[in-house]
Amino acid sequence: MERHDYDLKQQEDKLINVTNESAIVNSFELRIDFEYKNQRYGAYCTYEVEGRGICDIGIYHATSARGIEQPIYDELYEQVREYFREEFHIDEKSLDW
């Protein structure tokens, strides 16, 4: 075997040979932008796979850094939660996109 071939063989022997790949995803972050009573808002939540489902829903003003008032948050919460559940086809046991 020539020296060059020997060096190549040694290099090849040191490389990994991947035979399979997989990934484990424990959660997704979902986001939406929407309008309500002529105001622009955004919302986000965490969807935990094989666990709590949709949780940690946040709603914010899309055009302002100020926080959203509790009465508006309460008005929007159920609608936003249902949107995440219905439009993203999510329940506590499955995710279908």
Per-residue pLDDT of 34-55, as tens digits, reads 999 999 999 999 988 777 788 8
- The number of domains in the chain is 1
Q: Where does the pLDDT of residue 75 fall: very low under 50, low under 70, confident under 90, or very high at 90 and above?
A: very high
Residue 21, in any domain of the structure? no
Residue 49, in any domain of the structure? yes
Model confidence at 15: pLDDT above 90: no
Model confidence at 72: pLDDT above 90: yes
- In the chain, the largest separation of any two C-alpha atoms, in whole Å, equals 80
Residue 77, in any domain of the structure? yes
Residue 74, in any domain of the structure? yes
Residue 56, in any domain of the structure? yes
Asked whether the beta carbons of 80 and 72 are under 8 A apart, the reply is no
Q: Where does the pLDDT of residue 94 fall: very low under 50, low under 70, confident under 90, or very high at 90 and above?
A: low
Residue 53 structural domain: 26-97
Model confidence at 10: pLDDT above 80: no
Model confidence at 1: pLDDT above 60: no
